[in-house]
């Protein structure tokens, strides 16, 4: 083969084994190599099978295992203040209801978020985001929902956009305006009307959200109210997701499946009819063990039913100030195994290929295949199962974002 016909690469990465996560399985390639052009994978396989190539840069990773970059598909990463004081109060016997009466709970996060400037929100969220990135995350979903007014929801979504501009990470923005009742409203139907008539159309017109979410629960909004909200989102061309069946069975998951929702999240109380509806609609089950753990819940999601019907199971941190102050997706992978009885392979799929599907990104992200974005991590482990085994620790040897080295915990701006 002449130089004219040699495979021309921007970069070549070799010297490690790969768990590609194709089809949600480890799908191992030993002693592998990855060729990248324009931030995309153009060749992947065993290094001994490499064709003649020319490359601008070549990286010897020095052993370990490569996986797709982790994807945190459910976070509330942008918020003002924190609720560490409430955590301490609860441990000292103060009830959630009493804390709420004192102005705590989500109301305190709404007030703090509304009062914070965009610069303050960027600074605080950036610290949390960098913790996720240092743990191997290359894509993060960020929800609004602590603004609960048009101006404050837009502020949160602008902050999410700015975080993506500043950091080597892909951000998907989700409008969760139907999260809770704002203090200026006392009628849930009137608030849903406001969201449908004023908030969603403006957010859609400005192109500020990639999806719309709602909290469907007895303490939040009813199935009928969320359905009205979703109809408007659908008419505006915005895909939907739902917080559903976390505390009780409300029928929200089945309703969301009728809209072909990207995901139904929490879902501890779903029933077989809900699971079948998810399977029929292609809706991903997003498991959130951090909230399950923090709230000391006992009702587990029906993992065996989800397996039986072939519903993809994603895993996320649910990073938020109240019920899941989690900043490690790997820790959530361990919890999914220890608390929900997933296997390490299912856990890794949940933080890669299935998480990508939960964000509508599985054509470009979540597995290492030709044509997909070159987001991957080389880990200092002897097997991919160790990613669900270790509780903490710095296991990242190299974090590669869109074909460029980027550890994620350095103080760098821009997209590398």
pLDDT per position as a tens digit, 339-393:
999 999 999 999 999 999 999 999 999 999 999 999 999 999 999 999 999 999 9
Kindly indicate the confidence band of residue 201, based on its pLDDT and cuts at 50, 70 and 90.
Answer: very high
pTM: 0.96
Task: Tell me, yes or no, whether 207 lies in a domain.
Answer: yes
pLDDT band at residue 99 using 50, 70 and 90 as cut-offs:
confident
How far apart are the C-alpha atoms of 366 and 346, rounded to whole Å? 13
4 near 52, Cβ under 8 Å?
no
320: its two tokens: 């938020």
Q: What's the whole-number mean pLDDT along residues 263-283?
A: 98
* pLDDT band with cut points at 50, 70 and 90 for residue 407: low
Neighbours of 53 (CB within 10 A): 16
Q: Examine the pLDDT at 409 and tell me if it is beyond 50.
A: no
In terms of domains, do 152 and 243 share one?
A: yes
Q: Based on the fold, state whether residues 267 and 324 are members of the same structural domain.
A: yes
- 414 is a domain residue: no
- The verdict on 240 and 315 lying in the same domain is yes
Collapsing DSSP states into helix, strand and coil, what is residue 328? Answer: coil
- pLDDT band, residue 3 (cuts 50/70/90): low
Nearest 5 degrees, angle CA 161-CA 165-CA 168?
115
Host H or E run for residue 258: helix 252-258
Please report the pLDDT score of residue 410 as a whole number: 43
Examine residue 412 and state whether it is found in any structural domain, yes or no: no
Check whether residue 59 and residue 158 sit in a common domain. Answer: no
**38 and 179 share one domain:** no
Q: What is the mean pLDDT of residues 191-202?
A: 98
Band (pLDDT 50/70/90 cuts) for residue 87 is confident
What does the pLDDT read at residue 4? 72
- Residue 226 tokens read as 């969320």
Short-list 298, 305, 265, 304, CA closest to 284: 265
Question: How far apart are the C-alpha atoms of 229 and 272, rounded to whole Å?
Answer: 25
Reply yes or no on whether the pLDDT at 54 is more than 70: yes
pLDDT in tens, 224-248: 999 999 999 999 999 999 999 999 9
Question: Is there a domain that residue 249 lies in?
Answer: yes
Task: Read off φ and ψ for residue 209, nearest 5 degrees.
Answer: -135, 145
Residue 318 to residues 52, 88, 110, 325, 363, Cα–Cα distance (Å): 45, 20, 17, 8, 24
255 shares a domain with 123 = yes
Question: Is a pLDDT exceeding 80 seen at residue 1?
Answer: no
243 with 351, same domain: the answer is yes
* pLDDT for residue 416: 40
Tokens 């400037």 correspond to 117
Does the structure show a pLDDT above 80 at 210? yes
CATH of the domain at 380: 2.30.40.10
The range of the structural domain enclosing residue 59 comes to: 7-68+367-405
- Beta-carbon count within 10 A of 37 CB: 17
Task: Decide if 411 is inside a domain.
Answer: no
**Can you give the CATH number for the domain in which 261 is found?**
3.20.20.140
Q: Do residues 332 and 289 lie in contact, with contact meaning Cβ atoms separated by under 8 Å?
A: yes
Q: What b/e sequence results for 223-245 when a residue is b if at least 16 CB atoms lie within 10 Å of its CB, and e otherwise?
A: bebbbbbbebbeeeebbbbbbbb
CB 75 within 8 A of CB 318: yes
Domains: count for the chain: 2
SS3 content of the chain, % helix, strand, coil (to 5): 35, 25, 40
- What average pLDDT does the segment 160-170 reach? 98
95 shares its domain with 205 = yes
Q: Tell me, yes or no, whether 30 and 112 share the same domain.
A: no
Checking if the pLDDT of 411 tops 70, the result is no
| Other C-beta atoms lying within 10 Å of the C-beta of residue 204 | 18
In a shared domain, residues 74 and 143? yes
d(Cα 134, Cα 132) in Å, to the nearest integer?
Answer: 5
Q: What is the mean pLDDT of residues 386-406?
A: 96
89, 148: one domain: yes
- Split at pLDDT 50, 70, 90, the class of 97 is low
Structural domain contains residue 2: no
Categorize the per-residue pLDDT at 103 as very low, low, confident or very high, splitting at 50, 70 and 90. Answer: confident
CB 392 within 8 A of CB 328: yes
In eight-state DSSP terms, residue 283 is P
């Amino acid at each position: 083969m002449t130089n004219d016909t040699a495979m021309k690469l921007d970069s070549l990465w070799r010297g490690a084994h790969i768990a590609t996560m194709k089809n949600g399985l480890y799908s191992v390639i030993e002693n592998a190599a990855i060729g990248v052009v324009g931030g995309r994978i153009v060749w992947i396989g065993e290094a001994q099978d490499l064709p003649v190539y020319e490359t601008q840069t070549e990286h010897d990773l020095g052993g370990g295992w490569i996986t797709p970059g982790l994807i945190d598909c459910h976070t509330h990463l942008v918020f003002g203040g924190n609720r560490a004081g409430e955590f301490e109060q609860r441990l000292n016997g103060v009830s959630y209801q009493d804390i709420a009466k004192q102005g705590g709970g989500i109301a305190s996060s709404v007030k703090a978020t509304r009062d914070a400037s965009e610069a303050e929100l960027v600074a605080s969220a950036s610290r949390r985001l960098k913790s996720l990135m240092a743990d191997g995350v290359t894509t993060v979903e960020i929800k609004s929902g602590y603004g609960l007014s048009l101006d404050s929801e837009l502020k949160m979504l602008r902050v999410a956009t700015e975080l993506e501009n500043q950091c080597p990470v892909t951000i998907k923005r989700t409008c969760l305006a139907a999260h809770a009742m704002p203090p200026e409203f006392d009628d849930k139907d009137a608030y849903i009307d406001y969201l449908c008539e004023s908030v969603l159309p403006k957010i859609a017109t400005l192109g500020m959200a990639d999806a719309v979410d709602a909290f469907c629960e007895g303490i939040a909004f009813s199935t009928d109210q969320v359905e009205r909200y979703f109809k408007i989102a659908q008419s505006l061309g915005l895909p939907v997701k739902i917080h559903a069946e976390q505390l009780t069975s409300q029928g929200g998951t089945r309703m969301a499946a009728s809209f072909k929702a990207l995901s139904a999240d929490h879902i501890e109380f779903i029933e077989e009819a809900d699971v079948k509806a998810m399977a029929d609609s292609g809706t991903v089950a997003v498991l959130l063990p951090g909230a399950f753990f923090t709230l000391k819940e006992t009702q587990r999601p029906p993992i065996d039913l989800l397996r039986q019907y072939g519903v993809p199971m994603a895993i996320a941190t649910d990073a938020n100030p109240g019920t899941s102050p989690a900043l490690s997706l790997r820790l959530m992978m361990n919890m999914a195994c220890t608390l929900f009885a997933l296997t390490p392979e299912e856990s890794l799929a949940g933080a890669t290929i299935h998480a990508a599907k939960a964000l509508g990104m599985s054509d470009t992200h979540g597995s290492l295949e030709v044509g997909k974005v070159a987001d991957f991590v080389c880990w200092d482990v002897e097997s991919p199962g160790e990613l669900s085994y270790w509780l903490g620790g710095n296991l990242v040897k190299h974090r590669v974002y869109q074909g460029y080295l980027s550890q994620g915990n350095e103080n760098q701006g821009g997209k590398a």
